[in-house]
Amino acid sequence: MTQSMDKVMSLPEAVRRFVPDGSHISIGGFTLNRNPMAAVYEIIRQRVRNLHLYAHSNGQGMDELVGAGCVARLEIAYGGTGRFAPTCIRFRKAVEEGSLVVEDYSNYQMTLRFMAGAMGVPFLPTRSGLGTDLLERWGFSEELRRSDPRIPDRKLSVIENPFGRWAGASRLVAVPAIHPDVTLLHVQQADAQGTARIQGLTFADVEQAKAARRLVLTCEEVVETEALRSDPDRNHIPFFNVDAVVPVPWGAYPTACFRYYDYDPRYLSDYRTYASSDEGWQSYLETFVYGVSGHEELLDRMGAERREAIRADGRTGYANNLDRR
Amino acid sequence: MTSTDDYTLREMMTVAAAREIRDGEIVFCGTGISMVAAMAAKHISAPNSVIFFETGAVDSLLEEVPMAVADSRVMFWTSVNGGLADAFATMQNPFTGPRVVGILGAAQIDRFGNLNSTVIGDYAAPRVRFSGSGGACDVASFVGRTLLFMQHEPRKFVERLDYRTSPGWLDGPEARQRTGLAGGGPAAVITNMAIMRFDEKSREMYLDGTYPGIRPEAVLDRMSFQVDVSRAKPVSPPTADELDILRRICDPQRLILG
């Protein structure tokens, strides 16, 4: 959280400054939409290690961070990217071979955990989780929980309704607040000071933004302050939450960015093939992540024709009749 | 003109689910076949039903079929584009939650309609890892009723779940109230062979209907626990109109129907 008027910086600098080894991080977006992919690739390129990742359903970005060995611990609700990978492939592999420690929650529980962090309360209650193994089975050991002051001692707690049977509830699940060291989001527009506008669904981005100590925004466009302040009802994040503004056109690619571009079905299908074997995965990383200097070079390699094919239609916000087989 | 003799089991399942949706219901859709079922229902029996996603999209027009619940196609021409916090609150809300029908799938189901979408094997060292709850536990905990999509296989209809991700009727009558859960519970299981429902008293699964050409015994052979088959009746095949809606309007690219 900073007050400076100009927070614009390069992506390598933002990652170097705000995502050191061992950070607790969260990333925005949902499955195959508006993941901060340029930032994810930069984190992988800088070979950041031992991250603690908080995810609700951050499909593509989560899977690539896990696959590249950046993540040691994961708190998550859903590891999938829809039809392209009902279960994210490198995530599944890491859990099955025991190289990733996982704590499972539901999507609402994770959303409420970010919201509690954003609100400054230790927990929020919900009726979701009662009667399930989300309550009974814990992934993190007691030692792990004790070893890191940034994690609470308990995964979840069941509490009696302190107001008797008020609102028809007898018992509730208390979900603990999350305070990531840094949240990274990709948004459509921001000004240099950090006021940001999201188009389409916001997912849990705003809660994730406000729960975090530091906030890095990548954006399709850095726009003049007037462009945002003349229509403030459409803005989502106030500048004082923001630490870095990084202009990255196509910064969510290969995931979608509503009203700018669609997901790239070819990339996601190829990804599935590469990710399905260890050799394929290594060659994917060497070619498309370590093998490029930055997001611009990745996009160059994909070519203009491919970008044109997924450019969003002005009426619908996605690429109409895109071949998605 | 499409022939009614010529349809896939996936199309039969989708039509069976679409027929379950009541007019005016708010339909919580997951990824895949449930979206096509919800789209079809609007053209078949429930023109005033509302398509609703956990990502926060309300009453999406769905000119094209989405590949995930966060697909930009769910964001076009909605009543409101919100976020996860709004969407789940709508389902936990005492006024709107009971109007929601949730459509869910899973890797395993037990006789009370509890679901596993997390792991096969020991949770601490799983043989197979799946996506996890996502919104499934939330939906199953909150809404008026749920429809469950399953493939009929013995390893999927199991006596005991490896992990209980989402609550069904838990361990029988009154169990949900005892545990503190509101909402209804599972209403039907729609599979590639049959429709199963849950007994009003015991809350146990029974065979309600089989698809054309499928005998009740064949369904039992594909389950690891026994259920009552005495109430089973034939499910009528998809009509030409229903198939036309699926193929021409809902999923012309056959992205979901295969």
Check B11, B20, B25, B54 and give the catalytic one: B54
Q: Where are the domains of chain A?
A: 11-121+179-310, 123-176
ipTM value, please give it: 0.96
Cβ-Cβ contacts under 8 Å, B74 against chain A: 201
To which residue do tokens 């690619």 refer?
Answer: A253
Asked if B16 and B235 count as a contact pair (C-beta separation under 8 A), the reply is: yes
pLDDT of residue A1: 53
Chain A residues 271-310 with a CB less than 8 Å from chain B: none
DSSP track, B1-70: ---TT---HHHHHHHHHHHHPPTT-EEE--SSHHHHHHHHHHHHT-TT-EEE-TTSEES---SS--SSTT
> What is the distance of C-alpha B142 from the center of its chain?
15
Sign of CA dihedral B252, B253, B256, B258: positive
- Walking along chain B (258 residues) 10 residues at a time, the average pLDDT comes out as 71 96 94 89 94 96 93 97 97 96 97 98 97 97 96 98 98 95 92 97 98 96 98 96 94 89
Backbone angles phi and psi of B128, in degrees to 5 = -130, 135
Query: What is residue A2's predicted lDDT score, i.e. its pLDDT?
Result: 59
Q: Is there a contact between A203 and B84 (Cβ–Cβ < 8 Å)?
A: yes
Q: Domain A11-121+179-310 carries which CATH code?
A: 3.40.1080.10
Contact present, A181 and B195 (Cβ < 8 Å): no
Inter-chain residue contact B72 with A105, CB threshold 8 Å: no
Q: In the predicted model, what is the mean pLDDT of residues A139-160?
A: 97
What is the percentage of chain A residues whose pLDDT exceeds 70? Answer: 99
- For residue range A16-62, list pLDDT tens digits in order: 999 999 999 999 999 999 999 999 999 999 999 999 999 999 999 99
Structural domain boundaries in chain B = 9-250
Give the chain A residue nearest B68 (alpha carbons): A82
CA distance B111 to chain A (A): 15
- Distance, in Å, from the CA atom of B120 to the CA atom of A299, rounded to the nearest integer, reads 39
What pLDDT sits at residue B4? 55
- The pLDDT of residue A4 is 79
The tens digit of pLDDT for each residue in A302-311 reads 999 999 999 9
Interchain pair A202, B128: CB under 8 A: no
b/e map A25-44, b = 16+ CB within 10 Å: bbbbbbbbbbbbbbbbbbbb
Contact (CB<8Å) B83/A131: no
Superfamily of domain B9-250: Glutaconate Coenzyme A-transferase (3.40.1080.10)
Residues pairing with A164 in the sheet: none
Burial bucket for residue A273 (CB in 10 Å: 0-12, 13-18, 19+):
exposed
Chain A interface disruption, residue of B61, B137, B169, most A CBs within 10 A: B137
| pLDDT score of A283 more than 90 | yes
Question: A308: Cβ–Cβ under 8 A, 6 or more apart, which residues?
Answer: none
Whether the CB of A128 is below 8 Å from some CB of chain B: the reply is yes
Q: In CATH, which of 3.10.180.10, 3.30.930.10, 3.40.50.1110, 3.30.30.40 is domain A123-176?
A: 3.30.30.40
Q: Which residues from chain A sit within 8 angstroms of residue B93, using beta carbons?
A: none
> Is A82 in Cβ contact with B66 (below 8 Å)?
yes
User: How many residue pairs bridge chain A and chain B with CB atoms within 8 Å of each other?
Assistant: 217
CA R_g for chain A:
20
Contact A175, A158 (CB under 8 A): no
> Between A59-67 and A265-275, two packed helices, what is the crossing angle to 10 degrees?
30
Q: Nearest C-alpha of chain A: how many angstroms from B24?
A: 24
From the list A170, A172, A136, the residue with the least C-alpha distance to A154 is A136
Residue B11 annotated among the catalytic residues of the structure: no
Residues of B in contact with A86 (CB under 8 A): 31, 130-131
Both structure tokens of B72: 């930009």
